[in-house]
Structures are given as structure tokens and as C-alpha cells.
Amino acid sequence: MRMLISFAALFLSVILLQLSSGSLGPLDALSGFALGFSTQEIGILGSAHFLGFFIGCWWAPRLMGSVGHARAFAAFTASGAIALIAHMLIIDSTAWAVMRIASGMCVAGCYTVIEAWLQAKVTNETRGRAMGVYRGVDMGASLAAQLVISVLEPASYVSYNILAIVCCAALLPLTLTTAKQPETPTSPRLRPRLAFERSPLAAVGVIVAALSSASFRMVGPIYGQEVGLSTAQIAWFLAAFVLGGAMAQYPVGWLADKFDRRWVLIWLSAAAMLSCGITVLSTGFGTFGIMVTAALFGLTTFPIYSVAAAHAHDFADSSERVELSAALMFYFAVGAIAAPFTASALIEAYGPAALFAMISVGHGLLIIFGLARMRARSTPAARTRYVYAPRTSFVIGRLLGRSRERD
């Protein structure tokens, strides 16, 4: 209990940040649809978010080194709040894309500060419990953020103001805490080549994971509109995806620790292709069928990033864990930048089913590449633990590094 109290300010900031930033993506998609934006313009908004996310991941550790944790957090939160408020002042897709870059920077920057602060406060005795609560809080808030969409009117000044207020509220727990600011950690070197050197399959796997999650979360509302879902139903559609991903973590982690992780990746991708097909066909099964298939889609695609990361760390030594985690996040960000725009262009050209066709092709290529890599080399005898890896910042590896080591 004492541990939870000591981290309460950090966890409360995570909840408020997720509720504001996690709701913005689907709200922008629905608002853009209502305002007459083209499908491709809505896709660009999702890509712009991840471009800002990438910039924030790179810049945040450097800003912390210059002004400290609390001021860096305040600066990133302010950029997110300004972007939210500005939405209904300028109704233009290009201006909204710039705002989404700012909101993406806010998300990455704030998570970097929170995780750096958390890393400085945990001990070997509290690390496991602290990370368990952190992952639970982050996932729970992400799930709640999707449901918030059901009560927010698209293209409404009030809706964006509410999210801006919640974003500003995320400032209060950290800025009012009496805890001493930790020393600023050195930022990990960004070495994208390291991921391919340790495991080409893992690098490709995280790109495919980005293809699935980024396109679904940013362009999924367009799919929902196209197949006739209401705003409230779209909220549950997105929440079902997150819930399915959360439910998959323990059983997939057990499989990844017991069997060859390459086979786990291959079978997850095969299951993802099957779930894509079922999701497309489920439009004839009514709303309940669509929700179930969205949960199945999350169940099969959400864990792929963590399994790929675990496989990469099997080939790395302890000194490389932080930089390897940052390299994998780099490839995830690259895939996430490209995915929403590509998906929206395909939907505009070929219809809503093209979203899941694109994702299926990505997983099919991952299966082929995985089988080829199994012929290239064997898996190491000594393996790291499977750890659920949040896709939040380049410094997450510092929090997870020791969790991967076996006694």
C-alpha cells in the first residue's frame, strides 16, 4: 500500500493523460467525417499523431536534461492542451494535422517524463509490483478513453474543451507533488540497426504490430461509420479491441515462455489473418458480432509487439536492453506513421474491407519472413522472460530491463 501511495501522483497523471490523448484519435476521425474531410485527410491526422510521437520520444530526454522533469512535463502537457483547444478554431485538415503532431509530442513527452521518474523511484523489491500496477493503470485508462467517445459529440467545441481540461488536469498531480525531482537520466542512443542485428524477425514483427494497431485505432472509426455503426457503438468497437489485447497478455506470455517465440509469432499472425477475415464477414452478423470480432482482432494482434520484443532480447546481453528497446520503438513509430494514411487511402479506393485486407497482407508477409528466419538460425537455449511491453517511450527499456532477466 505504501508503494502505491508513493507512486499515486505518477499513476493519476497517466490516467488523465490517457483519457485526453487516447480519446482524441477516434474523436478526430469522427469529427473529420462530420466536417466533410476526405478519408485520406482523416488518415493523415493519424499519421501526424505518430510523427509527433516520434519527435517527442527523441526530444523529451534532452528537454528534461535542460529544464528538469516537472517543467518538461508542463511544456508537453501545454502543447497537448493548446492543440486540443485549437481544433474548433481552425477547421482545416492541414491545420489539424499540425495540431495532431503537437498532441503526439505531448503523449510521448509526458510518458517519457513519467517513466523516467518511475525508474528513479523504484527499487529491486518494488519494481515488479510497480510495473504491474503501471501496466494495469495504462491499459485500463486506454480502455476507458475509447468509451469516452460515446459521450462526446463529434465536431463540437465543448468536446474538445472537455479533453483539454482533462489534459490540463494531468499537470496537477506531478506539479503539486512534494517528492523531490530525480536526477535526469542520460537518453539512450538511438541505434535502429541494433534491432536488425539482434533479430531481423523482431524488427519486422514490431512494424507489423504498428500496422495493425495504429491503422485500427486511428482509421477504425471510419470503418465503423462505413459499416453503419453509431458513435456509441464505435466507442465499444474500439474498446473491444483494447479489451481483447488486455485479455491476451497472460496466455500469450505463457505460450511465449514455453514454446519457440518464432512459432508463437507465426501462429499469432495466422490467427490475425483469420480474425481479419471474420471481422469483414461479421458485418452481416449484427452489432454484437462486430464487437466480438473486434475483441478477437485485439486478442490476436495486440501481443505481437511484446512477443517480438521478447524474441529480440533473447539475442541481446543486459547492457544492450535499453538501446534495443528504443530501436524497436523506433521501428514501431515508423510503421505507425505510415499505417493510418495507407489504410485510409485503400479504404477510399476499395471500401472499408480494404483496412483488414492490408493488415492481412502484412501478417502474411510476417509469416513468410518468420519461416525463412527459422531456417537461418536456431533460437538461443537461454531465453529472457516474456514481458508485456507498453509502446510509450524510448526509455521504457530502463523500466523493463531487469524484469526480463531470469534468476
Please indicate whether residue 150 or residue 183 has the higher confidence score (pLDDT): 150
User: Whole-prediction pTM value?
Assistant: 0.91
How many domains is the chain partitioned into structurally? 2
Q: Is residue 150 part of a domain?
A: yes
pLDDT at 3 over 70: no
Residues 201, 362: contact at Cβ < 8 Å? Answer: no
Expressed as residue numbers, the domain containing 263 is: 188-402
Look at residues 174, 196, 216 and tell me which one is the last residue of a structural domain. 174
Question: What pLDDT does 392 receive?
Answer: 80
> Tell me: the pLDDT tens digits for 292-351?
999 999 999 999 999 998 888 888 887 777 788 888 888 999 999 999 999 999 999 998
Q: Which residue has the cell 501478417?
A: 363
Residues 23 and 115 occupy one common structural domain: yes
- Greater model confidence, 376 or 29: 29
Q: What is the mean pLDDT of residues 359-371?
A: 95
> 65 pLDDT exceeds 70?
yes
Query: Do 136 and 83 share a structural domain?
Result: yes
Highest mean pLDDT among 55-64, 92-101, 143-152, 251-260: 92-101
In this model, does residue 283 exceed pLDDT 90? no
All 3 cell numbers of residue 53?
510521437
- Whether 125 is covered by a domain: the verdict is yes
Q: What was the pLDDT predicted at 240?
A: 93
Q: What angle do CA 227, 147, 308 make, to 5 degrees?
A: 80
The answer to whether residue 181 sits within a structural domain is no
Mean pLDDT lowest for which of 33-37, 287-291, 378-382?
378-382
pLDDT class of 152 with cuts at 50, 70, 90: very high
Is 292 among the domain residues?
yes
| Residue 183 falls inside a structural domain | no
Give the range with max mean pLDDT: 42-46, 254-258, 351-355: 42-46
**Got the DSSP string for 147-178?**
HHGGGSPTT-HHHHHHHHHHHHHTHHHHHH--
What does the pLDDT look like over 119-128, one tens digit per residue? Answer: 777 776 676 6
Q: What pLDDT was estimated at residue 169? A: 93
pLDDT at 1 over 60: no
Residues 195 and 170 placed together within one structural domain of the fold: no
Q: Give a yes or no: residue 407 inside a domain.
A: no
403 CB neighbour count, 10 Å cutoff: 17
Domain boundary among 174, 203, 236: 174
> Is the per-residue pLDDT at 182 higher than 80?
no
Cα separation, 360 vs 345, whole angstroms: 16
Cα-flanking dihedrals φ and ψ of residue 322, to 5°?
-65, -45
Task: Confirm whether 226 is domain-assigned.
Answer: yes
Is the pLDDT assigned to residue 80 strictly greater than 90? yes
Q: In the predicted model, is pLDDT for residue 405 greater than 80? A: no
Distance CA 20, CA 238 (A): 15
Contact 90, 138 (CB under 8 A): no
Per-residue pLDDT tens for 48-64?
A: 999 999 998 888 888 88
pLDDT tens-place string over residues 197-222: 888 999 999 999 999 999 998 888 98
Q: How far apart are CA 100 and CA 102, in angstroms?
A: 5
Of 27-36, 180-189, 295-304, 321-330, the poorest mean pLDDT is in 180-189
CATH number at residue 71: 1.20.1250.20
- Residue pair 238/250 in contact (Cβ under 8 Å)? The answer is no
Same domain flag for 95 and 135:
yes
What is the chain's mean pLDDT, rounded?
Answer: 86
272 and 160, same structural domain? no
Name which residue leads in pLDDT, 236 or 67. Answer: 236
Indicate the pLDDT class of residue 378, thresholds 50, 70 and 90.
confident
Predicted pLDDT at 168: 93
Statement: residue 232 has pLDDT above 60: yes
